[in-house]
Amino acid sequence: MCGVNRYFNYTRTIVTGGAGFLGSHLIDYLISRGHDIVCVDNLLTGSKNNIRHIYSHNRVSFEFIRHDVTQPLNVQGDEIYNLACPASPPQYQHNPVYTLKTSVLGALNVLELARETNARILQASTSEVYGDPVLHPQPESYWGNVNPVGIRSCYDEGKRAAETLFMDYRRHFGVNTKLVRIFNTYGPRMNINDGRVISNFIVQALRGQNITIYGDGSQSRSFCYVSDLIEVMHQVMNTEPEFGDPINIGNPGEFTMLELADKIITKIGGTSKLEFQPLPQDDPKQRQPDIGLAKSKLNWSPKVTLDDGLDETIAYFREALEA
Ligand code: NAD
Ligand code: UDP
């Protein structure tokens, strides 16, 4: 089946987590490049609203399969992007055992599928594999500083185990695997109740509510706009089969949460004040990607500034809240 697709020069792509924030943008991008899509999602944190617009496209081959990746998967495709996993701390901590199972059993199931069907496969890994980093910025060679028994471990250790599985399937079974370590990415289609910082601050400011700063707001993150990430995920998938090393993707522009809140309040206006709340356990103090590898290997750098990305995201949430 895969060979037949390649003969006719189109690619059938499976996207797990395709009804989520990143997955739905990835699907739009791949459709614009002529791919046929199979979207696999159990709608845990995603929504059909994120993919509904695709059904109105003419001549697009798009299939939605409601499926939990902790269960084996039987679908044919040329390539698999594995994005299925809750990504927001409150959401992945809501059912931590299930989060761990999603990362580990999910990775196993999609890797088995890739092995059986000879598909290439990309894992949406995360900067969280570096934990609360003591090396700054973080290069791919850094092994990280992860608490294995804390409240973030279900996500961090699950993603680390998934990376291990990807590398072992490559070494042991010759599967063409790719690992992308994604740093904080934001944009339209984040869920209003997602719980991550950018959506929280924007929604709070638009509603005239207080902005919730956890801790003293001096912790930093580096924020990447969604379009920059999606473009390079596709590039990584298309690297030569011999390349399977982890690769950092993110925007090195680093901001404290106080700076972020200030930017958003200035852009939106209104009456919101800062409300300081306790810092969650193990919250990383700083994070910035070293993107040297992405630059040298893929000639990639992010293009969208935080200011421009925030303007797009604020416009999206303004409309979503009005609707
Ligand atoms: P999201 O919550 O919007 O999307 C996750 C999707 O996976 C949702 O549609 C959800 O319903 C689906 N899902 C969850 N568990 C599932 C399961 N067991 N079976 C099938 N589907 C399941 O989050 P996102 O920001 O779009 O993140 C997508 C991926 O990228 C995740 O794997 C996440 O870990 C990774 N990532 C994201 C970021 C970021 O900043 N957005 C950073 C690092 C890594
Ligand atoms: N954060 C905050 N207020 C919020 C949500 C998050 O101050 O309403 C902080 C959080 O403590 C962390 C940073 O913002 O230091 C980024 O949090 P997010 O959940 O977006 O991502 P992650 O911690 O996984 O990088």
> How many other C-beta atoms can be found within 10 angstroms of the C-beta atom of residue 238?
12
pLDDT band at 161 (very low <50, low <70, confident <90, very high): very high
Q: Which atom of ligand 2 is nearest to the CA of 90?
A: 19
Q: Is 184 in the pocket of ligand 1 (CB under 6 A)?
A: yes
Phi, psi of 22 (to 5 degrees): -70, -40
DSSP 17: T
CA of 82 to the centre of ligand 1 (A): 9
Ligand 2 pocket residues where CB is under 6 Å: 88-89, 184, 196-197, 200, 212-214, 219, 221, 257, 280, 283
Q: Residue 183: which of 137, 120, 143 has the closest Cα?
A: 137
Q: What is the per-residue pLDDT across 114-139, written as a single tens digit (0 to 9) for each?
A: 999 999 999 999 999 999 999 999 99
Any idea where the domains of the chain sit in the sequence? 12-185+225-252+286-303
> How many other C-beta atoms can be found within 10 angstroms of the C-beta atom of residue 244?
22
In the chain, the DSSP E strands lie at 12-16, 36-41, 62-66, 79-82, 120-126, 177-182, 185-186, 211-214, 220-222, 224-225, 246-249, 254-256, 274-277
pLDDT band at 8 (very low <50, low <70, confident <90, very high): low
pLDDT band at 1 (very low <50, low <70, confident <90, very high): very low
What string of DSSP letters covers 117-172?
HT-EEEEEEEGGGGBS-SSSSB-TT---B--TTSTTHHHHHHHHHHHHHHHHHHHH
Predicted model pTM: 0.97
**Ligand lying nearest the CA atom of residue 82:** 1
DSSP 100: H
Kindly report the average pLDDT of the chain as a whole number.
95
Supply the ipTM of this predicted assembly. Answer: 0.99
Q: What is the per-residue pLDDT across 68-95, written as a single tens digit (0 to 9) for each?
A: 999 999 999 999 999 999 999 999 999 9
CATH number for the segment(s) 12-185+225-252+286-303: 3.40.50.720
Q: Is 100 in the pocket of ligand 1 (CB under 6 A)?
A: no
Q: What is the per-residue pLDDT across 278-290, written as a single tens digit (0 to 9) for each?
A: 999 999 999 999 9
Asked if omega into 137 is within 30° of 0 (cis), the reply is yes
CA distance 109 to 105: 6
Indicate if 155 belongs to the active site. yes
CA of 55 to the centre of ligand 1 (A): 22
Q: Is 69 in the pocket of ligand 1 (CB under 6 A)?
A: yes
> How many other C-beta atoms can be found within 10 angstroms of the C-beta atom of residue 173?
12
Output the residue whose Cα is nearest ligand 2's atom 1. 197
**Residue that is written with structure tokens 């614009």 in the block:** 32
**Contact status, residue 233 vs residue 81, Cβ threshold 8 Å:** yes
Check residue 231 and give left, alpha or beta (phi > 0: left; psi -120 to 50: alpha).
alpha
Selecting among 155, 169, 186, 225, the annotated active-site residue is 155
Q: Which atom of ligand 2 is nearest to the CA of 184?
A: 25
**Ligand lying nearest the CA atom of residue 50:** 1
**Ligand lying nearest the CA atom of residue 211:** 2
Out of 22, 43, 129, 183, mutate this one to test ligand 1's pocket (max ligand atoms within 8 Å of CB): namely: 22
Q: What pLDDT was estimated at residue 194? A: 95
Q: What is the per-residue pLDDT across 181-240, written as a single tens digit (0 to 9) for each?
A: 999 999 999 999 999 999 999 999 999 999 999 999 999 999 999 999 999 999 999 999
> How many other C-beta atoms can be found within 10 angstroms of the C-beta atom of residue 272?
19
CA distance 51 to 60: 13
